[in-house]
């Protein structure tokens, strides 16, 4: 499956910057409409280390109403969490109706890291595929919009990004020996990812594979996928998706002002370097 993905797909920075205000505005409008209509949504980000999950999430949430979403960076289960069924800690993070939950990694760690690193017995991670399908079917039946992303980069691209991060004194802390160990097992992880995508691709929880070599392409695809999913659900229930009169223009003006301030800051930085 993944060998057929065209990782050369790209969008220029100029094209992305031209699209971003419209995408952010539209997502904000849909977040507001989902809140009013009581439509809950779950956005899952999985992908290779250094594929851009964190920066994509940061851009995605930049213009959202913080009262309407929660971000959950998922780490290994704590001791007390291991005393419950393994999905228990994720049930607790499900959003209320009308809210959005964004997962930076998720319950799929069971069939990825825990599988490859031998942290979970084979019989347990094999059973997890069924657990995940049942879990996602249950929340979908309750009206949740479920969007799942796999941010995909090649082994060579991952190595290149790790080395670039290590050269930056402000970012080299982001690359650990554990990251390099996972990189050396890229082939093993690739097998696990392929099986995960195949066995958890469902009508109610489809995967979107994001070609993440080019950050602008990846971010635009993420925006459009979420927008389409929310828009489709809101139309199905007949909920309004248009912003209140007057607010749309103010939103665009604010985005344009921020963009102009960013351009001025870049110009000042460039002048300082000269």
For residues 200 and 271, state if they share a domain.
no
Does residue 6 sit in the same domain as residue 97? yes
Whether 35 has a pLDDT exceeding 60, the answer reads yes
Let me know whether 210 and 257 are in one domain. no
The verdict on 140 and 258 lying in the same domain is no
Do 125 and 171 reside in the same domain of the chain? Answer: yes
Q: How many domains does the chain have?
A: 2
| Mean per-residue pLDDT over the chain, rounded | 91
**What does the block give as tokens for 184?**
């050396």
Does 129 share its domain with 177? yes
Domain span at 15: 2-243
CATH code at 7? Answer: 3.40.50.300
Looking at the structure, do residues 261 and 274 belong to the same domain, yes or no? yes
Same-domain status, 72 and 106? yes
Co-location of 264 and 235 in the same domain: no
pLDDT tens sequence across 170-181: 999 999 999 999
Give pLDDT tens digits for 211-254. 999 999 999 999 999 999 999 999 999 986 775 555 455 555 55
Q: 260 and 231 in one domain?
A: no
- Predicted local confidence at residue 1, as pLDDT: 80
């Amino acid at each position: 499956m993944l060998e057929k993905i065209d990782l050369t797909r790209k969008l220029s920075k100029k094209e992305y910057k031209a699209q971003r205000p419209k995408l952010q505005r539209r997502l904000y409008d849909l977040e507001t409409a989902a809140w009013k209509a009581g439509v809950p949504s779950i956005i899952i980000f999985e992908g290779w280390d250094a594929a851009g999950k964190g920066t994509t999430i940061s851009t995605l949430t930049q213009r959202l109403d913080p009262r309407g979403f929660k971000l959950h960076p998922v780490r290994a289960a704590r001791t007390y969490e291991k005393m419950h069924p393994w999905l228990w800690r994720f049930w607790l993070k499900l959003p209320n109706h009308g809210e959005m939950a964004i997962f930076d990694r998720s319950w799929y760690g069971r069939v990825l890291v825990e599988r490859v690193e031998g942290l979970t017995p084979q019989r347990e991670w094999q059973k997890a595929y069924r657990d995940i399908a049942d879990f996602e079917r249950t929340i979908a039946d309750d009206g949740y919009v479920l969007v799942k992303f796999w941010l995909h980069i090649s082994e060579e691209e991952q190595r290149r990004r790790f080395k670039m991060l290590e050269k930056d004194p402000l970012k080299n802390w982001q690359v650990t020996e554990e990251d390099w160990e996972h990189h050396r097992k890229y082939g093993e992880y690739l097998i696990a990812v392929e099986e995960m995508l195949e066995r958890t691709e469902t009508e109610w929880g489809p995967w979107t594979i994001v070609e993440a070599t080019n950050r602008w392409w990846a971010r635009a695809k993420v925006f459009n996928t979420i927008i389409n999913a929310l828009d489709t659900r809101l139309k199905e229930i007949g909920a309004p998706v248009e912003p209140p009169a007057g607010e749309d223009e103010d939103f665009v003006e604010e985005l344009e002002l921020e963009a102009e301030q960013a351009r001025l800051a870049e110009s000042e930085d460039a002048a300082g370097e000269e």
